């Protein structure tokens, strides 16, 4: 029906306008050009048969991304770097957009596109250094901070996919962690985990995780950003889903109490319905389609 397709197109346009906030969409960092005659297709770092392609194509990444942002605030030096060098208060969607561009390039781009994205991140990290409010020096290139950010992101994307994206058995979950270790090494993580068990052990080994004043400021901003009114109900559902995936010990540190049974009875059904609606509106993932076209050639 034309009216239904028009409504779908209008909704998709509104969603993309909010997510990109006027910036070029991530699809532009991923080539769809076929290889030159006689050359093999360039699948990038992973390729169509990878678990990374499967996980990162799902809208559960929205939930995983918010969960990662919440948990990452618990490392005082990492949080200080964000607070002192990020413009998230003035540009609430900027960090989300930059992260989505990096993920698009390293997941679906050619090897050259992935390497350029990594080089850009490493250049930015070299400039992010300073001193926390407690007088402790930090640098975004510090292997510990790189490991913390990487581990939390992988753990968050995996948890969100398993709850809201699709089925992933233990072997495939290990494959995902091992594939993401490829990007981690390129960014500068010295010895990233390659199994779910190793990832859990490394996360448990981070000490001195705590909530600072900067942490609570960031958490409030993550949960209640100054988004357009039309986007706030959807964000509230995704944020509640993200909170439901945060481990209980971390929720207590972040002052994120949850009511018993609220998550399974209310949040999860609402999130699945929202993601299904977003999937209907947005249609096929254009970034994935460009990569598939390039590899199929």
- The predicted-structure confidence for 80-122, as pLDDT tens digits, reads as follows 999 999 877 776 666 677 888 999 999 999 999 999 999 999 9
pTM, 2 dp: 0.91
pLDDT for the residue 17: 59
Rounded CA separation 162/177 (Å): 13
How far apart, in Å, do the first and last CA atoms of the chain sit? 34
pLDDT digits (tens, 9 = 90+) for 270-295: 999 999 999 988 888 889 999 998 98
Which residues share a beta bridge with 139?
129
pLDDT digits (tens, 9 = 90+) for 195-204: 999 999 999 9
Q: 94-108 and 286-296 helices cross at what angle (nearest 10)?
A: 20
Name the residue ranges covered by the structural domains of the chain: 2-296
């Amino acid at each position: 029906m034309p009216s239904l397709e028009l409504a779908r197109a209008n909704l998709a346009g509104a969603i993309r306008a909010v997510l990109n906030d006027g910036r070029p969409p991530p699809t532009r960092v991923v080539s769809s050009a076929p290889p030159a005659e006689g050359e093999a297709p360039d699948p990038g770092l992973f390729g169509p048969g990878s678990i990374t392609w499967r996980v990162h194509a799902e809208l559960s990444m929205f939930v995983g991304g918010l969960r990662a942002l919440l948990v990452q605030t618990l490392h005082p030096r990492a949080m200080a770097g964000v607070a002192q060098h990020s413009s998230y208060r003035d540009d609430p969607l900027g960090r989300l957009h930059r992260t989505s561009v990096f993920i698009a390039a390293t997941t679906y781009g050619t090897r050259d596109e992935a390497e350029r994205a990594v080089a850009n991140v490493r250049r930015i990290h070299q400039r992010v250094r300073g001193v926390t409010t407690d007088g402790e020096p930090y640098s975004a290139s510090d292997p510990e901070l790189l490991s913390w950010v990487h581990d939390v992101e992988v753990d968050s994307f995996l948890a969100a996919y398993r709850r809201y994206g699709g089925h992933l058995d233990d072997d495939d979950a290990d494959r995902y962690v091992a594939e993401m270790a490829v990007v981690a090494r390129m960014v500068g993580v010295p010895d990233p985990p390659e199994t779910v068990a190793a990832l859990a052990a490394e996360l448990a080994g981070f000490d001195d995780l705590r909530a600072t004043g900067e942490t609570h400021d960031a958490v409030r901003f993550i949960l209640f950003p100054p988004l357009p009114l039309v986007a706030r109900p959807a964000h509230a559902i995704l944020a509640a889903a993200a909170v439901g995936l945060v481990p209980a010990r971390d929720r207590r540190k972040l002052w994120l109490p949850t009511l018993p049974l609220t998550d399974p009875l209310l949040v999860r059904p609402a999130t699945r319905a929202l993601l299904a609606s977003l999937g209907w509106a947005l249609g096929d993932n254009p970034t994935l389609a460009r990569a598939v076209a390039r590899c199929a050639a």
